[in-house]
Amino acid sequence: MYSIIVFFHVVSALFLGSLLALPLVMNSFFSRTGNDLKTALKTALSFTRASHYALVLLMISGVWMVVAYSSYPSILWIGIAILLLILIGGLIGMLHKNIKRIIFAENPEKKLLEHESELKWCSWITFLLIVASIFMMTNRSLFS
């Protein structure tokens, strides 16, 4: 059973880790127009939705591994891990909301430019939080 949980945890982590490319992908949106822009935004919208599912699976499998199969980590490590994952989920949700607004706008190019700074900011903060969570999850002994 442990190997199945680890498998789901690793697959979810890899999928969520692919969001590290998000700031670079965001830059490509600003050079697109028309149907090309809408297609790219719809792809990003699907990707953010799937990232939320991966994040939930990551949290469930992580809690299951810590509670059922691990020597109990420190309260500090647990608190920081939960906080980081909640912040990542919130930022992904903010990106999802803004991308959805842009897709359904009458003039998506104009709406994209209106939300440019927020999209870039959210994608870079998400990038940094994912890097911080990877560091923290792989170096659990630093927090005990």
pLDDT top residue among 128 and 32: 128
Q: How many structural domains compose the chain?
A: 1
> Which phi and psi (to 5°) does residue 135 adopt?
-60, -45
d(CA 108, CA 34): 8
| Identity of residue 25 | V
Per-residue pLDDT tens for 10-50?
Answer: 999 998 888 899 899 888 888 888 888 889 899 999 999 99
Q: At what angle do helices 22-29 and 116-138 cross, to 10 degrees?
A: 170
pTM here? 0.88
pLDDT in tens, 61-75: 988 888 887 777 888
Give the CATH number for residue 48: 1.20.120
Q: In the Cβ-directed half-sphere of 60, how many Cα atoms lie within 13 Å?
A: 12
**What integer pLDDT is reported at residue 29 of this predicted model?**
87
Residue range of the domain that includes 65: 2-143
- Give the pLDDT of residue 78: 87
Tell me how crowded residue 37 is: count the other CB atoms within 10 A of its CB. Answer: 19
